[in-house]
Amino acid sequence: MTEPAVPEPPMGLLAELTYRCPLACAYCSNPIEIAAYRDELDTADWQRVVTEAAELGVLQLHLSGGEPLLRRDLADIVATASGLGLYTNLVTSALGLNEKRAAELHDAGLDHVQVSLQADEPTLSDRIAGTPSFERKIAAARTVRDLGWPLTLNVVLHRQNIDRVDRVLAAAEDLGADRIELANTQYYGWAWHNRTALLPSREQLAQAEVTVRAAKERLRGQMEIIYVVPDYYATYPKPCMGGWGARQLVVVPTGDAMPCLAAHELPLPRANVRDGSLRWIWEDSPMFSAFRGTDWMPDPCRSCERRDVDLGGCRCQAFALTGDATRTDPVCHLSPDHHLVESAVEAANADRAGETVSLPLVARPHA
């Protein structure tokens, strides 16, 4: 019997240092049961994980959460990664990124900062974030530029802010951002509970795409604009994280390692860095091997000429919509479960003309 091939090393590690956060965003993809993640890895644990990641072949370390700035040892973790030659990226709400903290992280070797924005102006931004934060975010973004870091802005788009994408882009241009990610909401965690209030209409998407295309042309060579099309309106699904266990791995605050952000919801054996090496987890654990490659696929994926392109789509989305992680992602128009997505899209477009900000949101609790 042929031994399974050893997978290529991952390019990136997303270290979710804590799920504590000063914001209460209704589209948050963090787990609903945040209390179950209070037993966080300590400094030495994270330094070991980062070291094992470098030995495995990881090139990029993304430090996220929750809010990673709530970890007092953040600079120590950054310094360890920098000393190992990893490219370090802080993914932050920017609350807490004052001049003193920013200088500390700069001295530790941090390479890049990604700041989240919820909208282009205080009232809407603060309502979506669940706390007054807009002005502090803008000030922090300017601090990032003053220290010479590359600045990426991340804006999660949804029904309640997508009509302002032109003004969001103008705000990014004013801040001198090098890059902006306009990412339509992924419906996991709290976003799943708020899908009705967040899923945009076809009309909103069409207008946003016209605006983004024009901005890309106008700002070519000045600011990179990444626009992520919403899954529910796509003909084919996107490959999850570039393929399950193919390019990226995630380690959550309690040490569970996963191929993607929402895999904690799947009925798979856990793989924890407290119990095994990162190399074993990546190469051999059931968590990472479950949907790696194409052998696991049922039809229509198994016989589809796109099976090596979209790799069956998102396992977590399939599970959320059907209760079965092995099903073809219902986003795919060939999926036998595509009607589940069609129903959600129809609801988002039914008798809601012009409605953008009036639907209530269930906010993620402050933690």
Look at 32-36, 57-61, 315-319 and tell me which has the smallest mean pLDDT.
32-36
* pLDDT of 235 above 80: yes
Distance separating alpha carbons of residues 174 and 185, to the nearest angstrom: 25
**What pLDDT band is residue 1 in, cutting at 50, 70 and 90?**
very low
**What pLDDT band is residue 100 in, cutting at 50, 70 and 90?**
very high
Written as one string, the DSSP assignment of 161-197 is TGGGHHHHHHHHHHHT-SEEEEEEPP-SHHHHHTHHH
Beta bridge partners of 182: 155, 227
**What pLDDT band is residue 353 in, cutting at 50, 70 and 90?**
low
Residue type, 114: Q
Q: Which residue has the higher pLDDT, 238 or 341?
A: 341
Look at 71-80, 86-95, 350-359 and tell me which has the smallest mean pLDDT.
350-359
Look at 59-63, 101-105, 312-316 and tell me which has the smallest mean pLDDT.
312-316
The token pair that represents 362 in the structure block: 């269930």
Looking at residues 317-344, what average pLDDT do you find?
95
Looking at residues 68-72, what average pLDDT do you find?
98
240 labelled as ligand-binding?
Answer: no
* pLDDT of 105 above 50: yes
Distance separating alpha carbons of residues 52 and 188, to the nearest angstrom: 29
Mean pLDDT of the residues in the chain = 93
Task: Give the list of residues 6+ apart from residue 367 with CB closer than 8 angstroms, or none.
Answer: 19, 20, 21, 34, 66
Contact 163, 207 (CB under 8 A): yes
User: With 0-12 CB in 10 A as exposed, 13-18 as middle and 19+ as buried, what is 221?
Assistant: exposed
* pLDDT of 274 above 50: yes
pLDDT tens digits along 113-136: 999 999 999 999 999 999 999 999
**DSSP H/E element including 113:** strand 112-117
* pLDDT of 342 above 80: yes
pTM of the model: 0.93
pLDDT computed for residue 189 by the predictor: 87
**What pLDDT band is residue 216 in, cutting at 50, 70 and 90?**
very high
* pLDDT of 236 above 50: yes
332 labelled as ligand-binding?
Answer: no
Q: CA dihedral defined by 126, 132, 137, 138, rounded to 10 degrees?
A: 80
21 labelled as ligand-binding?
Answer: yes
Contact 264, 252 (CB under 8 A): yes
Look at 300-304, 337-341, 357-361 and tell me which has the smallest mean pLDDT.
357-361
- DSSP label at 272? B
